[in-house]
């Protein structure tokens, strides 16, 4: 009997969008359970049992609970090997794809996630314009390095690696969504823009985009 996947996620969460893309690329059905972070759904009784950090996404695979988007995506890649999201070529290629994903997930995204922005407002008194400048600065700094790395790599094809989307693209596209939300000038990043355009021609990226989810009343 097939296990039932349930995804606990937030519409605008970059990490949640990553997992939605991965599920779509693999053609996997799942139950969608929206957690509205702006309304503090993550503080509801019982959610801490799914993730003590009270963060999304959380994947429930028939009782197996997994947090952290990269861990979830790699779990899906191992348990559902169709449409692989990491190269099957060699360890060096897989490490290269992971380093792109981790440079976004560990170096860029944490500095402008909701918890940090709230602390900048509530703890340090930064107004909205200052918080936007903060976010744009760190995104641009990270994108500078990504553009250079991709420009110099023979591994790049139509996508970050080769001619099929991988974990690297799954991390890149949601970060570009954030970049545009914070008014980052994308003109200096032609390679990132080209990859984003190719990804956004695919249903897996379009149909799971935050704009495709109706606003909660």
Return per-residue pLDDT of the chain as tens, 217 residues.
456 899 999 999 999 999 999 999 999 999 999 998 888 889 888 898 899 999 999 999 999 999 999 999 999 999 999 999 999 999 999 999 999 999 999 999 999 998 899 999 999 999 999 999 999 999 999 999 999 999 999 999 999 999 999 999 999 999 999 999 999 999 999 999 999 999 999 999 999 999 998 766 5
The fold for domain 91-204 equals Glutathione S-transferase Yfyf (Class Pi); Chain A, domain 2 (1.20.1050)
DSSP letter for each residue of 148-198: HHHHH-TTBSSSSSBTS--HHHHHHHHHHHHHHHTT---TT-HHHHHHHHH
Q: Where in the chain is the domain with CATH 1.20.1050.10?
A: 91-204
**For residue 183, what are its two tokens?**
């008014």
Residue that is written with structure tokens 């000038």 in the block: 185
Model-wide pTM > 0.85:
yes
Task: Kindly calculate the radius of gyration of the chain based on its CA atoms and give it in whole angstroms.
Answer: 17
CB 76 within 8 A of CB 173: no
CA–CA separation, 19 vs 131, rounded Å? 26
Q: Where in the chain is the domain with CATH 3.40.30.10?
A: 5-84
Its CATH architecture, for the domain 5-84, is 3-Layer(aba) Sandwich (3.40)
CB 65 within 8 A of CB 56: no
94 phi and psi angles, rounded to 5 deg: -65, -40
């Amino acid at each position: 009997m097939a296990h039932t996947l349930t995804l606990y996620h937030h519409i605008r969460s970059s990490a949640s969008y990553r997992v939605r893309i991965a599920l779509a690329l693999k053609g996997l059905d799942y139950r969608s359970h929206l957690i509205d972070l702006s309304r503090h759904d993550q503080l509801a009784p019982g959610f801490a049992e799914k993730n003590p950090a009270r963060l999304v996404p959380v994947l429930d695979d028939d009782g197996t609970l997994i947090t952290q988007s990269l861990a979830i995506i790699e779990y899906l890649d191992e348990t559902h090997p169709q449409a692989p999201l990491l190269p099957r070529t060699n360890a060096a290629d897989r490490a290269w794809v992971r380093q792109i994903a981790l440079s976004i997930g560990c170096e860029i995204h944490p500095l402008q996630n909701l918890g940090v922005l709230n602390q900048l407002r509530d703890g340090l008194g930064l107004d909205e314009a200052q918080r936007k400048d903060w976010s744009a600065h760190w995104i641009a700094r990270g994108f500078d390095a990504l553009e250079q790395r991709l420009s110099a790599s023979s591994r790049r094809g139509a996508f970050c690696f080769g001619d099929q989307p991988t974990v690297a693209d799954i991390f890149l596209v949601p970060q570009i969504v954030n970049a545009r939300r914070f008014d980052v000038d994308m003109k200096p990043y032609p390679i990132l823009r080209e990859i984003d355009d190719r990804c956004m021609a695919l249903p897996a990226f379009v149909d799971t985009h935050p704009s495709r989810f109706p606003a909660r009343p």
